[in-house]
Amino acid sequence: MNRKDKKYRGTQCINCETKLDVSEKYCHACGQLNSTKKLTIRDFIEEFFANFYAYDSRLRNTFFSLFLKPGIAAREFCEGKRHHHANPFRLFLSISIILFIVMDFGSSIKETPSKTKEPNKNSITSDSLKTSKVFNRNPEIVEVDPKTAKEFHRDSIYKANELGNDPENLSHLNLKLTIFRNYNIKNPNLSNEEALKNLGFENKNLNRYLYEKAKSLKSNDVLREAGDYILGKLPFLIFLSIPFIAIIFWIAFYDKKFNYTDHLVFSYNFYSFMFICLILFEFVGFISEDISLFLVGISFSILFPIYLYKSLRNFYQNSRWKTIFKFLLLNILFIPISLLAVFVLMAVSIILF
Angstrom distance (rounded) from CA 42 to CA 149: 70
Q: What integer pLDDT is reported at residue 234 of this predicted model?
A: 67
Q: What integer pLDDT is reported at residue 338 of this predicted model?
A: 60
- Tell me the pairing of strands 141-144 and 151-153: antiparallel
Q: What integer pLDDT is reported at residue 130 of this predicted model?
A: 37
> Max Cα separation, the chain?
91
Angstrom distance (rounded) from CA 307 to CA 218: 39
Q: What integer pLDDT is reported at residue 316 of this predicted model?
A: 92
Torsion angles phi and psi, residue 255, rounded to 5 = -160, 135
Q: What integer pLDDT is reported at residue 270 of this predicted model?
A: 92
Q: What integer pLDDT is reported at residue 29 of this predicted model?
A: 86
Q: What integer pLDDT is reported at residue 125 of this predicted model?
A: 44
Taking a C-beta distance cutoff of 8 angstroms, is the pair 82, 59 a contact?
no
Closest CA to 222 of 261, 254, 178: 178
Other beta carbons within 10 angstroms of residue 193's beta carbon come to: 12
Angstrom distance (rounded) from CA 39 to CA 43: 6
Q: What is this structure's pTM?
A: 0.59
- What b/e sequence results for 56-83 when a residue is b if at least 16 CB atoms lie within 10 Å of its CB, and e otherwise? eebbebbbebbeeebbbbbbbbbeeeee
Q: What integer pLDDT is reported at residue 70 of this predicted model?
A: 93
Q: What integer pLDDT is reported at residue 74 of this predicted model?
A: 92
> What does each of the 353 residues of the chain score in pLDDT, given as a tens digit?
677 777 788 888 888 888 888 888 888 888 788 888 776 777 666 666 655 554 567 778 888 899 999 999 999 988 888 778 888 888 888 888 888 888 777 666 655 444 444 444 444 444 433 333 333 344 467 766 666 667 777 778 888 777 776 666 666 777 788 888 888 888 888 888 888 888 888 888 888 888 888 887 777 777 677 666 666 666 677 777 788 888 888 888 888 788 899 999 999 999 999 999 989 998 888 888 888 888 888 998 899 999 999 999 999 998 999 999 988 888 787 766 666 665 665 566 555 55
